[in-house]
Amino acid sequence: MTIADVLNANPRLQRRLFFLARRFVAGETLADAVDAVRELNGHGLSASLDFLGEDVSSTEEAATNTAVYCDMIERIVAERLDSNVSVKLSAIGQMIDEELAVRNLQRIVDSARACDMFIRLDMEGSATVDSTYRIMDRARATYPHIGAVIQAYLHRAGPDARRLLENGVRMRLVKGAYKEPPAVALQHMSDIRRNFMTIAEKLLASPVYCGMATHDEFLIDAIRAFVERNGIGADRFEFQMLYGIRREAQRALVREGYRMRVYVPFGTHWAGYFYRRLAERRENVMFVLRNLWRR
Ligand code: FDA
């Protein structure tokens, strides 16, 4: 039985958990997400909208998710929001057939082309990395405003980042959120941080505009120190954080003159995303436990 089965069998628990998940998820509809982005923009923060619908197993669901992405792009433009979109390829058919994901990404690219909107391809489990790069390379052949994510915990992260830099691909650098075995990924936080900074320094020193996506004070301080030491302007890169996490720190960095982009997920399939955020930090679990039984 999956978590989704448990929730479907228990609508009251589902409602209660959704109430708590709203700290990390903008809402279930595009209108909710637009409101959240408008508020962030009002505080000088940019956004990247993510529609929660990963790992679809039918062509119809993949088509529906693709259509939502096209709507998101239209709404961002119509509402004059400072936002781009982040796409999970598994939400548009990558696990069914790579060619299907290529075709669906092409539809999203066609919508983005009219307004030159940047499209970020999120990175999922390590088994999808090569496929994600293949799909990205094909889409970039006609539309260069597509970027990737480098997960610093992967042993391959350094060489991948070097190859992408050579091709002028914009990257978002993250630690990595999936459970990976030691043969594939670093397991200790100190090693992951070290690899994150090694790659971050290469990205920051390059002419390619990149995103430093972390809530980790240690890494944020190290990035700040590096850019100050090397005279790298605050307009040459951006910090990125997740919606609802370290909200004060997000605004404080903007007040200091740095750019900050907030990743804003929305949609009815919020459970998987919510549980990943819980798994990451004990404070997040405590927040849920404290509130779960509160009336
Ligand atoms: P982490 O959660 O490991 O925290 C490290 C330290 O930060 C803590 O020990 C503490 O010192 C400090 N800290 C964190 N939160 C705090 C708080 N609330 N208060 C005080 N201190 C706090 N992953 C992936 O695999 N593929 C992807 O495409 C993406 N995309 C993505 C986009 C964006 C914008 C972000 C920010 C992250 C992702 N991720 C991701 C997730 C990423 O891989 C990672 O799992 C999370 O960001 C958690 O790692 P952190 O580096 O943020 O800090």
pLDDT digits (tens, 9 = 90+) for 172-208: 999 999 999 999 999 999 999 999 999 999 999 999 9
Q: Is the pLDDT of residue 268 over 90?
A: no
**What is the fold of 3-292?**
TIM Barrel (3.20.20)
CA 156 to ligand 1 center in whole angstroms: 20
Mutation pick for ligand 1 pocket among 215, 239, 242, 247 (CB with most ligand atoms within 8 Å): 215
Q: Whose CA is nearest to atom 13 of ligand 1?
A: 216
Q: Whose CA is nearest to atom 41 of ligand 1?
A: 177
pLDDT in tens, 207-261: 999 999 999 999 999 999 999 999 999 999 999 999 999 999 999 999 999 999 9
Q: Is the pLDDT of residue 15 over 90?
A: no
Separation CA 40–CA 58 (nearest Å): 34
Q: Quick one: tokens of 134?
A: 């293949």
CA 110 to chain centre: 21
Q: What is the reported pLDDT for 295?
A: 40
CA 188 to ligand 1 center in whole angstroms: 15
Protein residues with CB under 6 Å of any ligand 1 atom: 122-123, 149, 151, 172, 174-178, 213-217, 240-242, 245-246, 263, 280-281, 283
For residue 19, the tally of other CB atoms under 10 A from its CB is 11
Average pLDDT value over all residues in the chain:
93
Q: Quick one: tokens of 170?
A: 């914009």
Q: Is the pLDDT of residue 7 over 80?
A: no
pTM for this model (two decimals): 0.92
Q: What is the reported pLDDT for 276?
A: 79
In ligand 1, the atom with minimum distance to the C-alpha of 216 is 7
Q: What is the reported pLDDT for 68?
A: 97
pLDDT in tens, 49-107: 999 987 789 999 999 999 999 999 999 999 999 999 999 999 999 999 999 999 999 99
CA 130 to ligand 1 center in whole angstroms: 23
Beta strands in the chain (DSSP E): 46-51, 83-87, 119-121, 146-151, 171-174, 210-213, 237-242, 260-266
- State the residue for tokens 């890494």: 219
In ligand 1, the atom with minimum distance to the C-alpha of 262 is 34
The catalytic residue positions are 122, 172
Q: Is 182 exposed, middle or buried (0-12, 13-18, 19+ CB in 10 A)?
A: exposed
Q: What is the reported pLDDT for 3?
A: 61
Q: What is the reported pLDDT for 265?
A: 96
**DSSP 3-state assignment of 83?**
strand
CA 214 to ligand 1 center in whole angstroms: 5
Separation CA 201–CA 165 (nearest Å): 12
Return the higher-pLDDT residue of 185 and 272: 185
What single-letter amino acid sits at 12? R
